[in-house]
Amino acid sequence: MVDPISQIIINIKNANVARKATTTLPYSKLKESVLAVLKREGFIKDFAKKGKKVIKTLEIELIYVDGKPRIEGVEQISKQSRRTYTKAKELKSVLNGYGALILTTPNGIMTDKEAKKAKVGGEVLFKIW
């Protein structure tokens, strides 16, 4: 079984290297909520759920600024073999606020800034900048 977070990260990295405008992923609710956070933070242009019943996919539109991809790098923190958790007080910004730390919390998936504001910690999924 493939880790859904690593699937998102690898798919976006490969699409950026190939300079593709869109990329697709198999659908899951977790992926959809992570992509909603990435869209809200301005890392992707848009995403849409395609397909019916059993075979659903997520189509992601990537952003390019002056020929460079908006997403410069992504680093996975929690893995299937080692989960990493943090408290709200221990959250640090990524590249002095230029990037974002994506967490899964009891209140849903959110960025480090939102988690600090809500004073909740959780599992650190990945860093993106």
pLDDT at 127 over 70: yes
Residue 54: its pLDDT value, please?
86
Residue 63: its pLDDT value, please?
95
Whether CATH 3.30.1490.10 fits 4-128: yes
Angstrom distance (rounded) from CA 113 to CA 4: 23
Q: Where are the domains of the chain?
A: 4-128
* pLDDT tens digits, one per residue of 15-68: 999 999 999 999 999 999 999 999 999 999 999 999 988 899 999 999 999 989
Residue 97: its pLDDT value, please?
82
Angstrom distance (rounded) from CA 14 to CA 19: 8
pTM above 0.95, yes or no: no
Closest by CA to 72, choosing from 108, 98, 45, is 98
